[in-house]
Every structure is written in structure tokens, then in C-alpha cells.
Structure 1
């Protein structure tokens, strides 16, 4: 029994590391549906296209959607296999010239002088619950007048049983507010419903959504 628990713990741990995601993306079929995340659509569909950064881009569904709408988009992820899939997705969608790729770990993210009009991340959940620190670092990549959109799974409403490790990694939107540096205004910090269809079943889940704008001054 002890061995089984140790193996289960190791499996969970790999889900938070690049190696685990490289293995997940190594299969033949798509891991995600390829459609844009609805919280991104609700925010960005009325924005004037500019420069965008999607951190934790996976197979590039949000990157491609933004690029099709005229944005110049950088997709960032810590999985080389995921970025390779995302690049192929952009090529197949005919938007490769408006996309670029950046292999980086959000847990040690540094903007290094890069600035974007929109910085977004969806369902990024570091295992140590360090999203407040991640939000602070991502905010450093937002250009004056730009937007930061952070969306995550809420621990309060989910359609599958969760381990303690997964619960510790999840957050409420208001938990992230201390991560906003001076000069940022929170436009929304709330739980928003989302309809999820999986294996023919429909679920109502809850997203934690933080939307903030950096002062233009």
C-alpha cells in the first residue's frame, strides 16, 4: 500500500513539471479542444489588436485565436512538446507569421524588458500555491495601459474529485489581488461560471478571474 501511495504521489508531482507535460503531449491526439478559452474571448473580442503574451499556452488554442484576430502573439510554456504542437497549430491555421514561441517556466518568469498590451494565462496552477508571486512577475510584462488576465480553476466548484495537491494549487480570484504591483487597477476579481462538456456530459464549473489594467502614466 505504501508503494502504491508513493507511486500515486510521484504521478501527481509530474503533472506540475515540464517532463509530465512533455509526456502528455507526446501522444497522437490533441490534448485540448483547440478552441479559445471563453474568459479570454469575453475580454479580448472588443479589444484593438496589439501585442499579446499567453503564458502556459499549451497547444496554442488561445494564441491562434488571438492571431486570427490580428494580434501579434507570443506563446510561452515550459513544455517543449507543447510549444512544438502549438507552432504546428499556428502553421496549419495560417497565422505563423504573427506568432512566436518562448520556452519559460512561469514559476521563474522574468519579463526581461519585454512588454505586451495583453498578458494572459489560463489554468496555470503551480504546485506550491505560488500564484500570487506569479501574478506579480507576469504584471511586469504588461505595457503601460495594457491588461493582465489571469484565469484559474476554483477549488469551490469542480466536476471531478480533487487531490489535496490539486486543491492547494487552486485559488479564488481575490486571493491574487496582493500580487498586483502599484500602478495596476483591478477591473474584476470574481468567480465566473463556465459550461464544460466532457465525454458527452455537461458540467457547470467556476473560474477564478482576475482582470487588471496597468496605468498608462
Structure 2
């Protein structure tokens, strides 16, 4: 899907995603001291807004202007810098203490470009956090993209960063519980990959 497709999807729904932060973003980052953060492919900005309300100076970037406009409305008085930009061509080197990539599902070459752009945006000592639908979710889990080319593993993400210097905090498959919000469907397990790194230099 390109930016126009996503604009149409965001325009057709009151909210495509929850107003709450992703559970892994919240648990992994709750104890980090605030600094400068980039939420790359931020969508409607749920993670960016959560970070900003915890004291972070946040940039939320997405290639859908409709999503960003909705995020700005959701944020209210919360200060977030909203930037219409493609994650695969982002270029703001060594500018952030934290970069988040949450559920940016792209084919391998585009994913690698976005992962490298996110890493390059970190200062030394900065934290990189990626959460995405894991490749195993297609056969073993619930929901998510049904095209295997859009899925990944933690190992794929680490391979995208070959030649860079980092310390691995976590790189693994994690379970996420999903179910109908009205209780009409059974609770199921979705499988995500989670990669948390600290840039060494």
C-alpha cells in the first residue's frame, strides 16, 4: 500500500489503531529517562503521544498526512512534532535518544531501508525498538498481514543492521493476546518479533 492507500484507510475509519500505546512499547520503554524520540511510521501517533506525555521530546513521522492530522487531534495539548515523511527515506542522522518502529510491515528491501534509517537516526547510546508481526504468525498466530513477504523475524532485523555496532537487549519472538473487544470472539495469540538494541557508536 502506498501513501494514498493509507490516506484512504485512515480517512474511512474514526481510528484504525487504539489510542493506547502498543503493549511492548509501553513495557520496554517505561523506565527509560526522557530525551529526544522518533516514532517512525507513527500512524495516528499513539506511541508518540504516550512518549510525549512521559516527558519525551517526540517527532512522529508517517507518509500518511491523514494519519498525522488525526494524531495531532488526538494529542490535544500534548506537544509532538508531526512530519509527513517516508520511513524508508528518512534522514536525520544521530539526532535521537530513542527510535521506535512499530508494525511497519514491508518487503525485505524496504524494511532494511527503514531499519537502517532508524538506526542511523540514533545517537551513540540511543535505544532502537522494533515490534512487528513475526513470520511465524502466519501459520501459528492470529491476525496480521497474510503475505509472508511482509513478515519478519528478529534475526531478519539484526541482519538488516549488518556492519553496524550495537548491544542487543532483546531480539526474540513474543506472544501478544488478541481478541474481540466486545467479547464475541475467542481470545487468541499473535506472534510478534521484538528487537531492542542500544547503538554502540
Normalising by structure 1, what TM-score? Answer: 0.83
User: What is the match of residue 13 of structure 1?
Assistant: none
| 1:86-105 equivalence runs, <5 A | 86-91=71-76, 94-96=77-79, 99-105=80-86
Asked if 2 retains the 8 angstrom alpha-carbon contact of 1:129 and 1:169, the reply is: no
Runs (4+) of structure 1 exceeding 6 A deviation are: none
Q: Could you tell me how far apart the structure 1 residues matched to 2:94 and 2:8 are?
A: 30
Q: Could you tell me how far apart the structure 2 residues matched to 1:149 and 1:115 are?
A: 16
Distance verdict in 2 for CA 1:161–1:143, change over 3 Å = closer
Q: Could you tell me how far apart the structure 1 residues matched to 2:13 and 2:133 are?
A: 26
Asked if 1 retains the 8 angstrom alpha-carbon contact of 2:94 and 2:124, the reply is: no
Quick check: 1:69 aligned with 2:49? Answer: no
| 1:158-173 equivalence runs, <5 A | 158-160=141-143, 163=146, 166-173=147-154
Asked if 1 retains the 8 angstrom alpha-carbon contact of 2:142 and 2:178, the reply is: no
Shift of 1:135: 1.2
**Which among 152, 175, 178 is matched to residue 156 of structure 2?**
175
* Unaligned 5+ runs, structure 1: 1-15
| 1:138-217 equivalence runs, <5 A | 138-157=118-137, 158-160=141-143, 163=146, 166-180=147-161, 181-199=163-181, 200=183, 201=185, 202-215=187-200
User: What is the match of residue 27 of structure 1?
Assistant: 12
Quick check: 1:131 aligned with 2:111? Answer: yes
Q: Render the CA deviation track for 1:24-77: whole Å, top value 9, x for unaligned.
A: 111351111111001111111011111110011111111111111111111000
Asked if 2 retains the 8 angstrom alpha-carbon contact of 1:129 and 1:170, the reply is: no
Aligned residues: 194
Q: Could you tell me how far apart the structure 2 residues matched to 1:107 and 1:210 are?
A: 18
Q: Could you tell me how far apart the structure 2 residues matched to 1:37 and 1:160 are?
A: 15
User: What is the match of residue 46 of structure 1?
Assistant: 31
Larger Rg belongs to: 1
